[in-house]
Amino acid sequence: MDKKPILVVALGGNALLKRGDPLEAGIQQKNILIAASVIAGLTAQWRVVLVHGNGPQVGLLALQNAAYTSVNPYPLDVLGAETQGMIGYMLQQALKNCLPDTHITTLLTQVKVDTLDPAFQDPCKFIGPLYSADQLAALPADNPWQIKADGYGFRRVVPSPLPVSIVESAAIITLLADDHLVICNGGGGIPVTEGENGLQGVEAVIDKDQSAALLARQLNADALLILTDADAVYLNWNTPSQEAIAQTTASSLEELRFDAGSMGPKVSACCRFVRQCHGIAGIGALQDGCSILSGKKGTLIVAG
């Protein structure tokens, strides 16, 4: 019997904790139930590998981390590993309840990055909650965080180097071949570099869309689907003339410019995957997940 085609799904951390939502476990669990229902629906047609974001979650852990001053703060790579366990557990449990006869496996995943990546000099990855101007002014004067505008507020930004290779890729391939629904590369993966003493973590958060696209290319997947809190890719986003892009080609999208802190990495990840693997890619809202790759919702990107 032929196996189903492979689909890599990138689930945004903001799809699990919507903008403005309190960063509470109960709210996240409710959103994960919605996500699990969508992912379960995709398994009717696809073998699914699920990558999730962790922007709000790792930012919350960083806040909690900083609040306890009796020990030095834990580095971002360790906090990223914590979010892999936390979010992976919630997703794995919810998916197992939706798909009781399916093997669901969460894999703690390290992803190598380049220490010379220019992203370390220009942090642009948003993490943590959205601050109003008043909340931003109330932060301690000696707070070392870098802050940038994000929509109607402000958020902390950290370096987001490009993923180079997935340390546990062989394990992912083995699990997928055995028909597991694999949850991996959580938060884009735990960022590590390799030196004289082996692997070591670095202070960064890898973009989960770029990480999902790298995984999709390594698996030679048939499709890449990015689920986020935006219902499509838009021209002239957040202006009176904004216009959703329904179906397009990688070449057409690559001629346009998108925000480096939000839609830009999603578009570039999809275009690179489509060009290299000759598959299809989609970007859209979580609730539309089962309709995006058929072109009925969101943005569908094809070769050309």
Predicted pLDDT at 129: 79
Q: What is the pLDDT of residue 194?
A: 92
The stretch 59-67 carries a mean pLDDT of 86
Residue 42 confidence (pLDDT) above 90: yes
- Name the least confident of 41-45, 50-54, 148-152, 160-164: 148-152
Active site includes 125? yes
Q: What is the mean pLDDT of residues 86-112?
A: 97
298 is catalytic: no
Task: Tell me how far CA of residue 207 lies from CA of 55, 107, 279, in angstroms.
Answer: 9, 18, 21
Identify the residue with better confidence: 18 or 292. 292
**pTM (two decimals):** 0.90
pLDDT surpasses 90 at 142: no
Of 12, 80, 208, 297, the catalytic one is 208
**Structure tokens, 40:** 């379960």
Answer yes or no: 266 catalytic.
yes
For the chain, give the longest Cα–Cα distance. 63
Q: How far apart are CA 276 and CA 204, in angstroms?
A: 27
Is the per-residue pLDDT at 2 higher than 80?
A: no
Cα–Cα distance measured from residue 263 to residue 244, given in angstroms and rounded to the nearest whole number: 13
Q: Report residue 283 as tokens.
A: 């970007």
Say whether 4 is catalytic.
no
Please list the helix, strand and coil fractions of the chain in percent, rounded to the nearest 5, in that order.
40, 25, 35
Query: Does the active-site annotation cover 197?
Result: no
User: What is d(CA 203, CA 192) in angstroms, rounded to the nearest whole number?
Assistant: 9
Query: Is the pLDDT assigned to residue 116 strictly greater than 70?
Result: yes
pLDDT at 171: 97
Residue of 88, 266, 282, 289 with catalytic role: 266
Write down the pLDDT at residue 238.
Answer: 81
**pLDDT at residue 15, as a whole number:** 72
How much of the chain, in percent, has pLDDT values that exceed 70?
A: 99
Q: Residue 268's pLDDT band (boundaries 50, 70, 90)?
A: very high
- Mean per-residue pLDDT for 147-171? 92
Cα 229 to the chain's mean position, in Å?
A: 12
pLDDT at 140: 80
pLDDT value at position 1?
A: 56
* Measured distance CA(31)–CA(54) in Å, rounded: 14
The per-residue pLDDT for range 244-257, each reduced to its tens digit, is 999 999 999 999 98
Instruction: Name the active-site residue from 31, 88, 112, 125.
Output: 125
Cα–Cα distance, 160 to 156 (Å, whole number): 12
Q: Note the pLDDT of residue 247.
A: 95
Q: Please give the average per-residue pLDDT across 233-260, as a whole number.
A: 90
Which one of 24-28, 195-199, 261-265 scores highest in mean pLDDT? 195-199
Confidence (pLDDT) at 20 = 74
Higher pLDDT, 203 or 49: 49
Q: How far is CA 250 from CA 47, 155, 233, 266, 269, in A?
A: 24, 30, 13, 12, 10
| pLDDT at 138 (0 to 100) | 83
Mean pLDDT (the chain, rounded): 91
Element (H, E) at 51: strand 47-52
- pLDDT score, position 120: 93
Question: What pLDDT does 125 receive?
Answer: 83
Interatomic CA distance for residues 147 and 80, integer angstroms: 19
